[in-house]
Amino acid sequence: MRALDLIASRDPQVVEITLRAIFISLSSAFLAGVICIPLGGIIEFRRFWGKRALINLIQTFYSLPTVTVGLLVFLLISRSGPLGGLNLLFSPSGMIFGQAILVSPIMIGLTITALAGVGSPVRDTAKSLGATEMQIIITVIKEARVAVIAAVLLGFGRALSEVGVAMMIGGNIRGYTRVLTTAIALETSMGNLELSMALGIILICISLAVNLLLNRFQGRQEWRS
Amino acid sequence: MALLEISSLGKSYGKAEILKGIDLTVERGEILGLIGPTGSGKTTLLRLVNLLDEPSTGRILFEDREVSGRPEREKLSMRRKMAMVFQKPVMFKASVEENVSFGLRMRGKADAEEMRVRTKEALAAMGLPGYESRDANTLSGGEMQRIALARAWVLQPELLLLDEPTANLDPGSAASIDGLLQKLADSRTAVILATHNMQQCRKLADRVAVLQAGRLVAVGKSEEIALPW
């Protein structure tokens, strides 16, 4: 009951952690989307040696442990790392960067699957009506937009619910890099179960909302087709 | 000078020879019926003419210019003088207006107002006035086929390639499409109409070419042609 009270009374700490978690995860999903959707398009539309192997590798990275990505990003942005000069470690920007890397394989892979699902009749129709190669790619992405949006939403969901990158790159600094998952881990270890429960309920509610949104998009798509 | 001249054209996929030694010409404004049973190579021939696929052998001259083996930029400019309607029309996930004006938008030559007017005219010609704002994917098969025809017709192509446009339609919708094709017969657009319906050929085509097992076995006036099957 105390956990529900914390949510109902809009406890400042709960609100602040929730908003930060949503902001960081949305930013990482957006950043990854901007890079991964065109990249997925290029991989799907171009013919090159090792394409199948590359797609298999990308799909293998779907289940990459978050702590492994956290470690790699840590090495990359720590003071002695190649990106050390950017001062990203223990900052929200660093967390966005790390989570964007974490969700990239899912977004690239699902974009490839989405575009492949559009099929050659759409490409042939666009081509026969005089579309250039770039116009065909844009047409196919537009046709697959629901599945591409689903890929971004899934990326957001994975970023929001992961703990490894957020903990290792953000450092769980109160009022600065503390997000839902790292706060739950910390508060549970400190025995503050009411706050942990409140944050956990919010995390589940956001995941549920993402799923409902996804189903609504897909439902509309099925109805149209 | 013929609009389209095909000589010794062949297409193979691996060991399967789909088309062999095709020689054919199409004049401006002519309707050529391309008749043949399923699997005789009609669609493959139309795809080669529309430059969607590369021939394995032979050559295609369009407006007296060799088209096969050209860079994509040159192929695109030639392809933009043609339009193809597929047997199963694909509707983009958009309104009827966006579907019909697709080719015009790809060419980027017409402004929004001109596109709107031409789209409206094309829809009226196809017997679908007032359909502009409807979702193209909620239409019936016959309506979709007419939208696909409007989408090709609005481009005012030199050569229109029709791949069995009435094959999947009920008799009523098929008759309505035939009526539209009759209108096309009066325009300056050349048409290759692939079909397995000799009656349709007799009604619409100036000449008929008969394809069987990838070979052209007869070309002539429809009344002169006796089908070998």
Domain boundaries, chain A: 2-219
pLDDT band at B126 (very low <50, low <70, confident <90, very high): confident
Chain A residue whose CA is closest to B150: A129
CA dist., res. B123 & res. A129, Å (int): 17
Exposure string (b/e) for B34-49, b if CB count within 10 Å is 16 or more?
bbbeeebbbbbbbbbb
A81-133 pLDDT, tens digit each: 999 999 999 999 999 999 999 999 999 999 999 999 888 899 999 999 999 98
Tell me the torsion sign for CA atoms B16, B21, B27, B33.
Answer: negative
Chain A residue whose CA is closest to B162: A128
**Cβ of B106 and A142 within 8 Å?**
no
Cα of first residue to Cα of last residue in chain A, in angstroms, is 45
CA dist., res. A128 & res. B4, Å (int): 17
**Chain B residues whose beta carbon lies within 8 Å of the beta carbon of residue A128:** 50, 52, 79, 82-84, 86, 161
- Just give the CATH number of A2-219: 1.10.3720.10
A138 to chain B, any CB pair closer than 8 A? The answer is no
Chain A window 109-128: which residues touch B at a Cβ cutoff of 8 Å?
121-122, 124-128
CA dist., res. A146 & res. A83, Å (int): 35
**Cβ of B151 and A122 within 8 Å?**
no
Give pLDDT, residue A220.
67
pLDDT at A223 over 60: no
Please name the member of A129, A135, A225 whose beta carbon is closest to the beta carbon of B151.
A129
CA dist., res. A207 & res. A150, Å (int): 13
**Chain A residues whose beta carbon lies within 8 Å of the beta carbon of residue B152:** 129
A126-171 pLDDT, tens digit each: 999 999 988 998 899 899 998 899 999 999 999 999 999 999 999 9
The residue that leads in pLDDT, A22 or B175, is A22
Decide: pTM greater than 0.80: no
Give pLDDT, residue A109.
96
Tell me if A59 sits within 8 A of A109, measured CB to CB: yes
B102-111 pLDDT, tens digit each: 999 999 877 8
pLDDT at B181 over 90: no
**Chain B residues whose beta carbon lies within 8 Å of the beta carbon of residue A139:** 92
